[in-house]
Structure 1
Amino acid sequence: MKSFKIFAINPGSTSTKIALFLNEEIILSENIVHSTEELAPYPEINDQLNYRKEIIIKVLEEAGQSLKDVDAFVGRGGGFKTVKSGVLEVNDLMLKDAYDGFAGQHPCNLAVQLANEFVSEFGGVAYTVNPPVVDELQDLARATGLKNVYRKSSIHALNQKEVGIRYAESKGKNYEELNLVIAHLGGGISVTAHSNGRMIDSSDNINGDGPMSPNRAGSIPALSILRLAFSGTYTEKELEKLLTREAGWTNHVGIADGIELGERIKNGDLQSKFIHDVLGYQVAKNIGSYATVLKGNVEAIILTGGLSYDDSLVEMIKEMTGYIAPVVVMPGEFEMEALAAGALRVFRGEEEAQEYTGEPVWQGFNFEEEN
């Protein structure tokens, strides 16, 4: 079997995960952590591109690795218009939409930009796999109380799909035949109803929906946001930054790191304990909501992402939701493996890479009567 060298890139709010693969084998895997102080000089997410590129190359050089002869650079992707699930080849239109933050500004928007930068320098091809803008929502999930305002699909699709597949395999079943509620708990949080292989409803982890996260606001009553917006205290960009990068734990107690928050709790910090539990409460409440979407027919509730290593948080969620279905913990994420696997499927002819056209998956409701 021919060998393919694949480099996976996954930028997050406070880290950049990288992994170099030879087929399925991991040659190198690093989680590059970015402190608040290191990111402070870059007021906009796009300003971080060269910083993250340079630190990636530095880490690789220190590990004695090179990006020469890489066949594919695969970024987690995000920020562009909605797409069907699968593998997509990076093109100029995708790069523009990611840069502009069509689906909201998030560090994952840098992934396809970084992949393109590396292709320009080292050759190969750039892909993204199951980006957060994969759209499989059912129409009932899209509508809001305003006729021209719709809920959007912004999900940790890459990891959610992967853990769903892995859970199904562990039970000798197919992901496409199960109903699951999966909660990705990390810098961003998405809670999703998976019905027979489709993510039919989910909290939007970027645009202010669902639970708070370590640095995002989650759902806030609309009139409260309206009053903030017209208070004269914030510009539009400042308010967006507050809600998407400086809210949640960061806004309440000044940190986004779960380990540090845990240390404060051990040392008797009651405010940190309270705001930690608020996040768990909101996650559990959302899990209950998405169980109703599946009409209570739930095979399992799966907790994944970095915060699912937090035993006290997990126990709180189990206590509140365990009556619905078994709660399965698959801590961390399998995103890097999923990125590499997508490129391998294309190289091996098992899947065809899609072209990004900029045409969203959903283009409005159609209430015309069927003939």
Structure 2
Amino acid sequence: MKPQQLALFVGLSLSALSATTLSTQALASQANDPQRVFSQAYKNYLAAVKADENVQQAAELAYTSGKAVYGKNDDNTANLAINYAKAINGYGTELTEQRFNLYKEAHTILAGNHGEQSVEVIDALFGQANYAPSAYQADNYLEQIIEIAETQNNPKFVADMKLEAATLLAKKHSHKKYREAKNYLEAADEYYRENVPNGSVEQIKADFLMASFAEGRKRYSQAIERLNNIVTVFDENLSFDHSAELTAHSRLVSLYEKQGKSDEATKHCLAIAQMVPWKESQQQTPLYRVHPEYPKNKARFRSDGSVVMEFEVDTAGFVKNPKVLSSEGGSAFEKSAQAAIEQWRYAPKFEDGKPVSAVTQVQLDFKINR
């Protein structure tokens, strides 16, 4: 997402400090306490990132102590603010506002030091777009990013920024900014298809997002084509399995079932089964599921229920011989649960390189929101 000269994740401005050492020797040699406090705080932050423990607390202390050392208008303060914003965990309005304000602070600093149209502000703009209070504001920040990218005389950089913009809008504002996201994506996809090698990371990301857009519009054949492109890339170019390939296979199972093409779906059920070992101790997760209908008479009286079912997953991943082990709420829930589960698809169990039948269980809960 960032051009080569940006180093914001765990580093400060490279013009002032090393991203890995943070000039700790120079800081330690100085006498005043704020510098020593910050030096230790930043060491602790790097250690927390490496261990993936207590990162938020460490990032906050590095930010506050660093601001005391560098002042409120220094690039290093901006980068520490970005690091802190990225480290904040949790959800909710207050945390969203906190992240947004940190990115806004960083943007103000970097724009003041380098200019509103500088590449240095891009990370801060993406952060503001991600946590903006409205779809309109998010899109406005993304437009600024695209404008900056277009000044760099680097068409691929522009395509990369448009792909990131499309991804963000699709994830957070697809209901209000669908057209803008689609336009960004199509522009990036066109560039990648004409200018980058087949199977590039960028093209795979674009194919995934194009598949999502197509599926959202119920254009299942288009989505299937994109996902099959991804599967083909991994089959032809890699000798090991990859999470992206697994995701593509999984989505293809669902799409083929939506088209009524169970035989095609089976191929991908088997592919997933060969990639992911069967775990006897873990409940199997369906690759395709049909939600059970809430019985009308139960919904009318706002009655809840649950059904525990046991069934066989055959060698092709179909559900066979479902039976009720226990239930609450009456037979109507049992019938609805069975009718739904009979349409589910799983990755079959593999033994010695061959698919075999296996028994699994699932509990379906029927609840009325009150």
- Is this a same-fold pair by TM over 0.5? no
Higher-strand-fraction structure: 1
TM-score, normalised with respect to structure 1: 0.25
TM value normalised by structure 2? 0.25
Structure with the higher helix share, 1 or 2: 2
Higher relative contact order (CA 8 A, sep 6+): 1
Larger C-alpha radius of gyration, 1 or 2? Answer: 2
